[in-house]
Amino acid sequence: MANLVLTLDDPESDVGRGRRFLTEVSVVLRSRVALIGLAVIAFWVLVAIFAPLIAPHDPLAQDASAMNQGPSALYPLGTDHLGRDVLSRLVHGSRTILVLAPLAVLCSVALGTILGLSAGYLGGLMDEVVMRVLDAIMAFPTILLYLIIISAIGPSAVNVVIAITFVGAPGAARLVRSLTLDICTREYIHAAETRGEHPLYIMFVEILPNARGPLIVDSMLQVGYAVFAIGTLGFLGLGLPPPNPDWGRMISEARSFIWTYPLGMLWPAVAISSLVVALNLFADGLREETTRYQ
């Protein structure tokens, strides 16, 4: 009986981890702001998953007799300058942006975490070299870095991920470094060092799990920034090459007809705005609730 009680109370047991997970979920559900953001995110995720079922037409199919046409029974959101169905392109474009943005942020956070942990825990020359290089990168305007990288390696889905990873890694690294410097003062870190644990074990087993809260919140914000960056690159013609459905490129292509058919710009702009706002709402609500219950 004593062993059973110990197992239930042990935070490292499966039961303890499950209980901790349910507690974290319940904390998030208390935030109305986070729930609103989560609902909009879930909507776009479902749209992306069921895109072939939702889209009424082929997103690449052109209809010369229905160019810049307003909403109708055949084309619920109208058509673009080539007669392509706007709704179908919006739906399929959500797949692109919901794959590239999280993937790019995951890569940037992974790279920034490695650099931040190394600089914060090892310190000394490692800290100076890493942080000075990252400071130099952050000194450049973000949009200028995107333009330089994409212009150098060419527009494609992979290169967009590479550009966002390179630009986003310094911010993640600075956050992880600051968290690492704080966590390194805790007694359990000194205990691990006294036991003779390897620095990699201390960084990734002792420090990183205790820094996950702020890192997760920051990652959600970074996904919103990545969505906006992908839209910006598409608008500038540096995103996915045509004729792939790209929300940013849809806005760029429709701007020439803004006075005669403004709806062509409206729908993709609303899509980008709603997703970015939802991600920020979810991150803000998550941060407020986690801070309140610390």
Q: Is residue 24 part of a domain?
A: yes
**pLDDT tier, 2 (very low <50, low <70, confident <90, very high otherwise):** very low
Question: What local confidence, expressed as pLDDT, does residue 271 receive?
Answer: 92
How much of the chain exceeds pLDDT 90, in percent? 27
Q: Is residue 228 part of a domain?
A: yes
Q: Is residue 164 part of a domain?
A: yes
pLDDT tens digits, 244-286: 888 888 888 888 888 878 888 889 999 999 999 998 888 887 7
**Percent helix / strand / coil, the chain, rounded to 5:** 75, 0, 20
Question: What local confidence, expressed as pLDDT, does residue 293 receive?
Answer: 47
**pLDDT tier, 4 (very low <50, low <70, confident <90, very high otherwise):** very low
pLDDT tens digits, 52-109: 999 888 888 888 788 888 888 888 888 888 889 899 999 999 998 999 999 999 999 9
Mean pLDDT along residues 200-208: 88
Question: What local confidence, expressed as pLDDT, does residue 110 receive?
Answer: 94
Nearest to 177 by CA among 119, 123, 220, 218: 119
The mean pLDDT of the chain is 83
Q: Is residue 52 part of a domain?
A: yes
Mean pLDDT along residues 180-186: 89
Residue with the bigger pLDDT between 180 and 244: it is 180
Report the alpha-carbon distance of residue 157 to residue 281 in Å, rounded.
Answer: 27
Range with the lowest mean pLDDT among 1-10, 44-53, 80-89?
1-10
Q: Is residue 165 part of a domain?
A: yes
3-state secondary structure (DSSP) of residue 85: strand
Q: Taking 90 as the threshold, does the pLDDT of residue 24 lie above it?
A: no
Q: Taking 70 as the threshold, does the pLDDT of residue 11 lie above it?
A: no
Task: Indicate the pTM of the whole model.
Answer: 0.82
Q: Taking 80 as the threshold, does the pLDDT of residue 292 lie above it?
A: no
Nearest to 37 by CA among 294, 267, 288, 291: 288
Q: Taking 90 as the threshold, does the pLDDT of residue 114 lie above it?
A: yes
**Structural domain total, the chain:** 1
Q: Taking 50 as the threshold, does the pLDDT of residue 205 lie above it?
A: yes
Q: Is residue 78 part of a domain?
A: no
Compute CA 228 distance to the chain's CA centroid, rounded to the nearest angstrom: 10
Report the alpha-carbon distance of residue 164 to residue 152 in Å, rounded.
Answer: 14
Q: Is residue 2 part of a domain?
A: no
Q: Taking 90 as the threshold, does the pLDDT of residue 214 lie above it?
A: no
Question: What local confidence, expressed as pLDDT, does residue 9 receive?
Answer: 42
Mean pLDDT along residues 29-53: 87
CATH number at residue 193: 1.10.3720.10
Contact 180, 121 (CB under 8 A): yes
Mean pLDDT along residues 145-150: 88
Domain of residue 42 covers: 19-62+83-292
Residue with the bigger pLDDT between 241 and 201: it is 201
Q: Is residue 67 part of a domain?
A: no
Mean pLDDT along residues 130-146: 89
Q: Which residues pair with 85 in a beta bridge?
A: 79
Mean pLDDT along residues 174-195: 89
Q: Which residue has the tokens 């490292």?
A: 12
